[in-house]
Amino acid sequence: MDLAELFQLFDSTLRNATPLLLACLAGLFSERSGIFDIGLEGKMLAAAFAAAAVAAWAAAPYVADPFPGQLSGLGLGWTAAILGVLAGIFASILMALLHGFASITLRGNQLISGVAINFLAAGATVLIGESLFSMGGQTPQLSGNARFSGLDLPLAETLGGIPILGPLYRDVISGQVILVYVALLAVPLTAWVLFNTRFGLRLRAVGENPGAVDTAGVSVVRMRYSAVLIAGILCGIAGAYLSMGTSAAGFVKDMTAGRGFIALAALIFAKWRPYPALGACLLFGLLEAIGSKYQNVDIGLFVIPVQFMQALPYILTVVILAGFIGKAIPPKAGGVPYVKER
């Protein structure tokens, strides 16, 4: 394997890791506040659909008298993509609010609510997509302004001449979709919010001991709703990236393909901390990249089947959860509804 091939692998690692990272940070906010979130998958899927649908509609030219089946849109320029992302965030927030309503206000089972959200998104996206576009649940192919294309960072070509670091900058770090950089920036931002602000302190406290936070005069309900909403926003960006920033260029049914659960796995792998979350997502992104680039990996002694590579994130999570390599201890009040009067 030469250097160019390696960088190609890193490039796809970064692209694979982006939706994982955003969803993982979403889960981090939610679970740090004591709300289990296995509905990351559903929120991402809903966002991917809404983003692609709205972007396609906004970018399509306006037709005064469309014939049946023809799409008449707004004919917007680059704002179409922005509108798409906002729509994705909006759809994801709706799902998040449903989760919040069920698990915070009604004190229902958070796991069951998450399961329901996943199915709801899987069903409703195809249903609505079919009724809007009649394309078997897909959205129209996005092109031009309706999708994101790679951004060339400054000096990419100039610095490209430097050995190793130059091509790394030019081929891997530069030329990504803007949402990739958003995801990467979200990591230090999350760490800062969580560990250096009053909001972050309260958020973590509400996930460990909501009674104490309540006694201090801070509303547990409001803290948890804000966490769930932040999770909604992040999942929304993750979903928008999937349908608008990848080569899919549009929504395909079930396009999240279990990424919400890999993100959940990464969250546990990272023990609910932001910087390790980045590491875990990059690792799982790399595994995905290797799995799709190579079939069976021959390491001399024996051949590792590709299925093992695909299952590795899940196996690693199980191992981590079992505490064989460092124990993963979830926030103490996770999954427990808070009842004020007790």
Partner 1 sequence: MKSMPRWVDLFLIPAINVFLAFLVAGLVVMFIGEDPLHAMRIMIQGSLGSDYGIGYTLFYTTSFIFTGLCVAVAFHASIFNIGGEGQAGVAGIGVAIVALTLDQTHWLLVLPLAVLGAGLFGAAWAAVPAYLNAKRGSHIVITTIMFNYIAAALLIYVLNTYLKVPGSMAPESRRFAGGAHIPRLDQMAEWIGLELTRTPANISLFLALLACLLVWLLIWRTRFGYELRAFGFSEPAAVYAGMAPFRIIMITMLISGALAGMMAINVVLGELQRLNLDSVQGAGFVGIAVALMGRSHPVGVILAALLFGVLYQGGAELAFEIPAIPSQMILTIQALVILFTGSLENMVRFPMERLFLFLRLRKEAR
Q: Which residues bind partner 1 (CB under 8 A)?
A: 38, 98, 101-103, 106-113, 115-120, 122-124, 126-128, 130-131, 134, 136-137, 253, 258, 261, 264-265, 268, 305, 307-308, 310-311, 314-315, 317-318, 321-324, 330
- Of the two residues 75 and 323, which places its CB atom closer to partner 1 in the complex? 323
* Residue 322 backbone phi and psi in degrees, to 5: -75, -5
Cα end-to-end span (Å), the chain: 63
Distance CA 126, CA 130 (A): 6
For partner 1, give the closer residue by CB, 81 or 267. 267
Which lies closer to partner 1 via its Cβ, residue 191 or residue 266? 266
Concatenating the DSSP letter of every residue in 185-197 gives HHHHHHHHHHHHS
At 103, list the tokens: 């698990």
Least Å distance, CB 212 to partner 1, is 22
Tally the C-alpha atoms within 13 A of residue 136's C-alpha that lie toward its C-beta: 4
* Minimum distance of partner 1 from residue 247's CB (angstroms): 23
- Beta carbon nearer to partner 1, 4 or 315: 315
Which residue lies nearer to partner 1 by CB, 131 or 247?
131
Taking the complex as a whole, the smallest distance from the CB of residue 158 to partner 1 amounts, in Å, to 44
Residue closest to 99 by CA, chosen among 201, 208, 235, 205: 235
Task: Find the shortest distance in angstroms from Cβ 324 to partner 1.
Answer: 8
Nearer residue to partner 1 within complex by CB, 11 or 130: 130
Amino acid at 275: Y
Rounded Cα–Cα distance for residues 242 and 238 (Å): 6
Between the alpha carbon of residue 65 and those of residues 68, 71, 80, 130, 239, the distances in Å are 9, 10, 21, 22, 32
Residue 186: CB minimum distance to partner 1, A: 23
Return the number of the residue (155 or 315) whose C-beta is nearest partner 1.
Answer: 315
Question: Least distance (Å) from partner 1 to the CB of residue 78?
Answer: 31
Least Å from the CB of residue 321 to partner 1? 4
Q: What is d(CA 71, CA 80) in angstroms, rounded to the nearest whole number?
A: 15
Alpha helices (runs of H) in the chain, residue ranges in sequence order:
3-32, 40-59, 79-100, 110-133, 156-159, 165-167, 178-196, 198-208, 210-215, 220-240, 259-269, 274-293, 306-321
List the one residue out of 8, 5, 15, 38 whose CA is nearest residue 284: 15
Nearer to partner 1, 40 or 54 (CB): 40
Asked if 156 and 169 count as a contact pair (C-beta separation under 8 A), the reply is yes
Which residue type occupies 250? Answer: G
The nearest distance, CB 21 to partner 1, in angstroms, is 19
Fill in the DSSP letter of residue 324.
Answer: S
